[in-house]
Structures are given as structure tokens and as C-alpha cells.
Structure 1
Amino acid sequence: MKDESPAESPQDGADAGTAPDGASRTEQRLVTRRRRVRRPLGGAFWLTALLLAAALAAGATYTQRDGVETALAADVDKRLAAKGLGKVAVTLEGRSVTAAVPAGEDEDKVERVVAGVSGVAEVETTQAFANAKQRRTCESLARELDQATNNQRIPFAGASTQLTSEGQALVGAAARVLKECPVGDVVVGGHSDDDTPDFSTLSLQRAQVMVDLLVRNGVDRSRMEARGYGDQFPVDDADTAAAVQRNQRGEISAEGS
């Protein structure tokens, strides 16, 4: 009789779904775990953050400050223009104002006007010149006037208040210098001689004659002062007619020179 022992079932050996090494025969699923690692922030990070914060704060402060200065400068310009001083240029540093005053303008007036603007804490004025020639003339005004007036010897005719033709030409030359430099006070002095009758009065009248001629030549009367020196300052002490004539003279000089 044929042995009919049953065939070995697949289950009798290793499990059908298990490989010899114990691994699953089905596709294994790999699970990846992501871990967040918190590392301490380095010094460079904090330094960068601090610098950025400081820069932002400074930028905000600068913007605010610039806006305040712009508004204050506009107020100052408006006030100057209203007072007929529109040619004055101003710069601001905070609430401190520096005003560049053109030659011929009244610096004291500019200072008063600017100081009266609300918000201005301090005012400084500087002289502004139109060109290099004007600067040179103003900086050497005393010397320029000496050259224009033949070293302060403007002749008059005899014991009169009449300028000689040379005297008129010298006054005209002085006027051109004073118009080139329209700043600074000017002394217009008349001289005489002790042999001349009423020499004190005559010397003052001579000064006034020269002031009038300077005004006709375009010089501002307000910057000039007429003085009569009588016989106080002779240029020639000799007792001669020529000496007396040399003392009949006028001068036009810068104040303080």
C-alpha cells in the first residue's frame, strides 16, 4: 500500500512570510524621525541685533531732527524775507542758526530778526562777499582808501569849502572803493590851518561837502560821519603859503583805521 503521509505544509517549516534571517518579506516602511536641536545663540548674533537696533533708532532720531531743522529753517527764511533780508543765507545745527549776511546788510538787524523766531536758541552771523574782489577790497579797506585819496590829502581851494578839480577826482575814487565794499563805517574829515579864519567851522563844512559828493556818487549816507578837525593835524608845520595850502584838505578813512 502506498504511503500516503501528507505533504509537508508550508506552515510546518519557517513561516511563509518570514525570511530566514527573521526579516519581513513584505516591504518594510522606514520611519524618519526629525529632531529640532536648539543651539544657544552666539555672541555675533546678539552683536548684530544690537547694532541693527541702534542703527534704526539713530535713523529715526536723525529723521525727526532733520524734520525739525527743516521746519525751523523755513520759519527763519520767512521772517527774514518779511523784513527785507531775503538774501541772507542760513544754516542750522539743531536750534543754532548761522546767518551769512551779504556785504551791505545790517548784521545786527539780521541777528535780532533771527533771534526773534520761535525755536531759535542761538544766532551767529558771518560776512558773505559777492566775489573775490569785494572780499579783497573789504579786507584792505583802509589801505584802499589811502591809495584812492593820495594818502588822505584831498585838496580844497584856498580858505574855502570848494574842492579843487583834483579833490573832486579823489573823492570820486574813494566813492568807487566804498561802493565795492558796502560795509563798514567811514569817517569823512575836514582840516584847516590856524591862519585860516574860523578854521574849526570851516573844517566841518568841508567834511559835509565831501559827504554830499560821496552820496551823489552812490555811497550810503548812513555809514558816514562828518568830522571837523580844525588845525589839530597839520601835514606841514612850515610858516609858508605852500604849507598853509597843503593843510587845507580833507580825508576819507575807514572807522578805526
Structure 2
Amino acid sequence: MTVLRSEWLKIHSVRSYRLAIAVAFGGILLGLGLAQMAAEMYESASPAQQARASLAELEEVVLMVPQLSLGILGVLVMTSEYTTGLIRTSLTVVPRRWPMLAGKAAVVGVIGLVTGPAVVFGTHVTCRWVIGDRFSGLYQTAFADKLPLLVALSLTVPAFALLGLGMGAILRSAAGAIALLVGLLYVIPMIVDKFPSPWSEWLGSVMFGALPRQISGDLTTPGVYGTSLPPPVAAGLLACYAVLPVLAGAWLLRRRDA
């Protein structure tokens, strides 16, 4: 508990923590703005255009905001200690290195578990209110039917935060780890989508962004991702994205000098 309290105080005292949380919750405002824009465009369209109009689910569109914000926070939680030299003090106080990283992982994971559902569910409720019955009743689906997807989307936020923490521990470079996170979310899926079949489908299915819909079984929305994984495998892969980098960082932390 002492380690957890210490890590919480260290994270809570830095400016990047407040900024990351503020940007993450800004995803709700982004969703609200997109929903209002879409509703206005729908109302100005002709009946024939309205009948053909479609809209992506906006909580999935804005999900990258809390994902990337918490992922960067995870990176900075680790790399800032190397930048400032505080890592030597931390390891002096906690000589066994894995408890220190485990404490960071616990705190970052809890922050993600709170932030992720708040942003995802907040965006969904906001969009249901603004969009109404427009776009063929996209947001008229029963809330219980959307709950599995919303939960899966929410869980990607703490998973990405832990991925960022692990990458920070492995690379010790904020720039390198953040570039890797951005590439994983934005660049690599677009590259994989250009691969010939069946490689594009298989590789697209294991991309981070493909996992929520495969976990929930909601595969109705087309995109650059594949859909070949059953829900248990997709859930296990999401856990691997979160856990394996942290374990690799812990192993490297034990083997090399601070």
C-alpha cells in the first residue's frame, strides 16, 4: 500500500496528469460537436438524401482521444523518472524493482478504468440525445444491446494506458514510445489494410482498434480492420496488449541499470 500511495502522489502531482485527463474528457465535447454537426447536416438534406444518410458511431470515433491521452500519460509516468533522475531515488526507496512498476501499473490502470467508461458512456448518452431518431435510428438501438460494445470500447482505454507504461519502461524514451503508440493507432492499420487478402484480414483482426467489436460480437460496421477473431481470443489479445509490455518492462528494469 505504501508503494501504491507513493506512486499515486507522484502521478497526481505532475501537470501532465491533469492535462491528460482534461484532454481525455474533451472527447465528450468532441463527440457533442460532431453529433450537432451531423444533426444539422441531416436536417438540411433532402428526404432522399436523409434516407441514404449514414453515420459512424461517434463514441468509437472519439475513442482515440482518451486512448492516446492515457497512453501518453502511461509513457510519461515511466520516462519522466528517467528524464529527471528520480528513478534512482525510487529504486533506492523500493530496491525490488518490480513492485515499483506494479504500483505504477495499478495506478495507471485504475485511472484508465475510471476515465474510459466515463468518456465512452458520456459520449454515447450525449449522442443519443443530440442525434435522436436521425440516420435510420442509429442511436435508437436499445441501450442493453449496445452495452457489450460500450464496455469493450471502455476497456481499451486502461489497456492502452498500460501499453504506454510498458513501452515507456522498455524504451525509456518518451518520444520513441509515443511515436510507437501513434503508429499503432493510426499508421499501422492503414498499412495493413493495403495488404493482399487474406493477410489484410488476419493482420487487421489483431490490430488494437479491431478488438472491441470482435470482443462484443458487434461486427456490423465496416472499416479497415479485420473481424476473424472469436470474442474470447480478442479479449485475450487485448489483455496481452496491456500486460505483456509491462512484464517486458519489468524484466528489463531488473536486468539493466537505472
TM over 0.5: no
Which entry has the higher C-alpha Rg, 1 or 2? Answer: 1
TM-score, scaled to structure 2: 0.26
TM-score, scaled to structure 1: 0.26
Structure with higher strand content: 1
Structure with higher helix content: 2
Bigger RCO (CA 8 Å, 6+ sep): 2
